Amino acid sequence: MQLIDSHCHLNLSAFNNDVDAAVQRAQAAGVEKMIVIGTNMADSIKAIELAHQYPSIYATIGIHPHDSKNADEVGYERFKALSDDPKVVAYGEIGLDFYRDHSPKPVQRREFARQLNLAGSWVCRW
């Protein structure tokens, strides 16, 4: 059995000086793979960069519901290109967050549907 951390945020600034140690701690605890989650374009790119630095790390790409109000066509074209990277294993962190409502509900619904369409036309290579 493999132990996989399916949702971590080593791409956040809190880990800027601690990624190596965090990966080592996880491996010492038996975690064999880690999936670093993209929540916007910058986080997604950083997740992919980390995935290329560490064999045990993979990445997701996407726009968190909080950031969905900032989505645009250029970004979606870029996400399509990023999805070709062999270390990208999923679209995420996508969804709806009506608790905090940082983006209007109709915008969240629209952008969630757009990302689901992207994910539906994409084949994971993992």
Please give the domain boundaries of the chain with CATH numbers for all domains.
Answer: 3-120 (3.20.20.140)
pLDDT of 101 reads: 84
Query: CB of 108 within 8 A of CB of 100?
Result: no
Judged against a pLDDT cut of 90, whether residue 83 lies above it is answered with yes
Q: 121: buried, middle or exposed (CB in 10 Å: 19+, 13-18, 0-12)?
A: exposed
Assign 94 a pLDDT band (cuts: 50, 70, 90). very high
pTM reported for the whole predicted model? 0.92
pLDDT of 108 reads: 96
What's the rounded mean pLDDT across residues 61-86? 94
pLDDT of 125 reads: 62
What's the rounded mean pLDDT across residues 54-81? 95
What's the rounded mean pLDDT across residues 105-113? 96
Query: CB of 39 within 8 A of CB of 64?
Result: yes
